[in-house]
């Protein structure tokens, strides 16, 4: 069964939504973004988050010390790296690591081989951006990748295309952010619809 991650939570309402709807993972963005949150606010939200939901911290080219400090303070379960972090950098942490890769074409997949990480987050390549673009890539490129890798599919997923995405890629996790928002904030009905769609 494909699991669900709702990323970019920053309000108390967002936490109330997910506590009721029970996605498998939620993400907190600790890097420059419209969904950025600081560790103090994140901890406040995490304190009221249902304990069954796993907490993912999203980072981009941060120092090892900075990531570790936030991860401990917020009691994160998983660290997700979206920048130019090297395999060696990813290997230093005592946490489950998900590394994001921006997929442009088949050659983009070569990079995955050198990373000793648990999760491979596949997002859309957009020049000059590290993710969060809300655009999809050609899923056929990665249709066989789940056989030997733990795949998290991101990039432009929403209710209208989620079933096709799951059928094509068979990811272990689908990662949604803008696809469950209205005017830049998380929307209860959209999250509910996605979860029903994936689990239905």
Known active-site residue 50? no
Find the catalytic residue in 7, 24, 74, 175. Answer: 7
Find the catalytic residue in 84, 123, 148, 159. Answer: 123
In three-state form (DSSP H/G/I as H, E/B as E, the rest C), the secondary structure along the chain is CCEEEEECCCCHHHHHHHHHHCCCEEEEECCCCCCECCHHHHHHHHHCCCCCCEEEEEECCCCHHHHHHHHHHHCCCEEEECCCCCHHHHCCCCCEEEEEEEECCHHHHHHHHHCCCCEEEEEECECCECCCCCCCCCHHHHCCHHHCCEEEECCCCCCCCHHHHHHHHCCCEEEECHHHEECCEECHHHHHHHHHHHHC
Known active-site residue 7? yes
Active site residues: 7, 123
């Amino acid at each position: 069964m494909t699991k669900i991650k709702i990323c970019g939570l920053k309000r108390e309402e967002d936490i109330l939504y997910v506590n009721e709807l029970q996605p498998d993972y939620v993400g907190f963005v600790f890097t420059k973004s419209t969904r950025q949150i600081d560790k103090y606010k994140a901890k406040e939200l995490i304190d009221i988050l249902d304990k069954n939901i796993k907490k993912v911290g999203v980072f981009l080219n941060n120092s090892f010390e900075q990531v570790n400090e936030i991860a401990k303070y917020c009691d994160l379960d998983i660290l997700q790296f979206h920048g130019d972090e090297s395999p060696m950098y990813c290997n230093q942490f005592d946490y489950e690591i998900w590394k994001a890769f921006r997929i442009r074409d088949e050659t983009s997949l070569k990079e995955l081989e050198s990373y000793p990480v648990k999760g491979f987050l596949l997002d859309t390549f957009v020049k000059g951006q590290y993710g969060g673009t809300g655009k999809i890539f050609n899923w056929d490129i990665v249709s066989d990748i789940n056989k030997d890798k733990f795949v998290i599919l991101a990039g432009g997923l929403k209710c209208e295309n989620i079933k096709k995405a799951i059928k094509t890629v068979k990811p272990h996790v689908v990662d949604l952010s803008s696809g469950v928002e209205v005017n830049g904030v998380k929307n209860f009905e959209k999250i509910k619809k996605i979860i029903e769609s994936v689990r239905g």
